[in-house]
Amino acid sequence: MIAMRRAAFPVLLIALAATLALALAIGPFPLHFGDVWHAVSGWIGTAGGQPTPGEIVFTRVRLPRVVAAALVGAALSGAGTAYQTLFRNPLVSPDILGVAAGAGLGAVLGILLSLPVMGIQALAFVVGLATVALVYLIAAALRGHDRTLVLVLSGVVVGALAGACIALVKILADPYDQLPAITFWLLGSLAGIKLNDLVVVAPLVLIGVVPMVLLRWRIGVLSLGDDEARALGVDVSRLRPLVIAAATLMTASVVAVSGVIGWVGLMIPHIARMLVGPNFARLLPAAMLLGASFMLLVDALGRSIGRTETPLGILTAVLGAPFFLWLLARSRKTWD
């Protein structure tokens, strides 16, 4: 069993490389090796002349989208792993504290106000973080109860309120222009990703990952329960808000550019746990590698199965709903 878990990481790295190559090759405009080689040569200054159509597609469309898919999958999976370990529940997902609903509300407000793309993304990010801050303030005010339970229930309530506000904005939106844009964004897509978006999002995801990596052993101890963690010298009252803030930052940053993509943070950590075990130090990198590969495959499937692009939220829901039912049936056996 130990040998199998150690072998999982090389396999996950090979799978990521394979899905990355596949995602770069698949699309409405087929790319050839010569296009990629010419683009890379241009970056290092060994090629000149006018760029070919394939090089333009690779540099401006395909590469930013593929990198964004890997980043979104890794961030959502890493955040889901942190939340599931923190709350000791495999049915918890990154949007449990309302960050996805809050980011969605910010985005639809930006679309309603006819803001530019960067403004919509910034508003989605800010409102997503503000939603989680509100949830945490509510949980802190309701003392005398189970802190974790109150936190989750507060997230559900605030997320439901944000969903109601999104429905109201859809009613007020222009049905011929704004409403289709709102609907498409809420279903999740990477069609409009630019390199400038990645320059902003990647550092935010990295800021969220760094404390998880540095505190990986203490976060793993939290899965034993608060009393056991305190007995082992872990300051639970400080560590829990830090983990929530880091996971929320990762989720809000990618949701702001990709839209709402559900189920990834629920499915992938559980699959990674079956591969490498519950140790958070191994589980976090395994989940992020697996999540990146999964999103690369889903994005490649979404832009190739039909004449029009299939939103990513639909594909992940089709895969995630049956998996959730299976996970619900097995949850008592795997976590008791």
C-beta of residue 88 within 8 angstroms of C-beta of residue 334: no
Task: Look up the pTM and report it.
Answer: 0.89
Residues of the chain with pLDDT under 50: 334-336
Say if 336 falls within a structural domain.
no
Please report the pLDDT score of residue 330 as a whole number: 67
Candidates 295, 306, 249; CA nearest to 83 is 249
Please report the pLDDT score of residue 284 as a whole number: 95
Structure confidence by residue, pLDDT tens digits, 261-304: 988 998 899 889 888 988 999 999 999 999 999 999 999 999 88
Task: Give the CA distances from residue 249 to residues 67, 131, 179, 211, 252, in Å, rounded to whole numbers and listed in that order.
Answer: 19, 12, 28, 12, 5
Domain CATH code at residue 109: 1.10.3470.10
Question: What domain range includes position 142?
Answer: 21-331
Please report the pLDDT score of residue 177 as a whole number: 87
Residue 49 CB neighbour total at 10 angstroms: 7
Domain count for the chain, please give it.
1
Residues 298, 319: Cα–Cα separation, whole Å: 10
Q: What is the DSSP string of 245-306?
A: HHHHHHHHHHHHHH----SHHHHHHHHHHHHH-S-HHHHHHHHHHHHHHHHHHHHHHHTTSS
Q: Which two tokens stand for residue 54?
A: 């394939």
Say if 10 falls within a structural domain.
no
Say if 5 falls within a structural domain.
no
Say if 11 falls within a structural domain.
no
Say if 185 falls within a structural domain.
yes
Candidates 256, 208, 244, 254; CA nearest to 105 is 256
125's CB contacts (< 8 A; 6+ apart) are 103, 106, 252, 253, 256
Please report the pLDDT score of residue 49 as a whole number: 61
- Using the structure block, give the residue that is written with the tokens 């992940």: 316
Percent of the chain with pLDDT over 90: 38
| Residue 154 CA, distance from chain mean position | 21
Residues 140, 144: Cα–Cα separation, whole Å: 10
Please report the pLDDT score of residue 336 as a whole number: 45
Helices marked H in the chain — which ranges? 2-25, 33-44, 53-57, 63-87, 99-112, 117-141, 147-172, 178-187, 195-214, 216-222, 226-231, 236-258, 264-276, 280-302, 312-335
Say if 9 falls within a structural domain.
no
Candidates 226, 215, 223, 208; CA nearest to 281 is 215
Say if 101 falls within a structural domain.
yes
Residues 35, 54: Cα–Cα separation, whole Å: 5
Say if 87 falls within a structural domain.
yes
Please report the pLDDT score of residue 87 as a whole number: 82
C-beta of residue 82 within 8 angstroms of C-beta of residue 243: yes
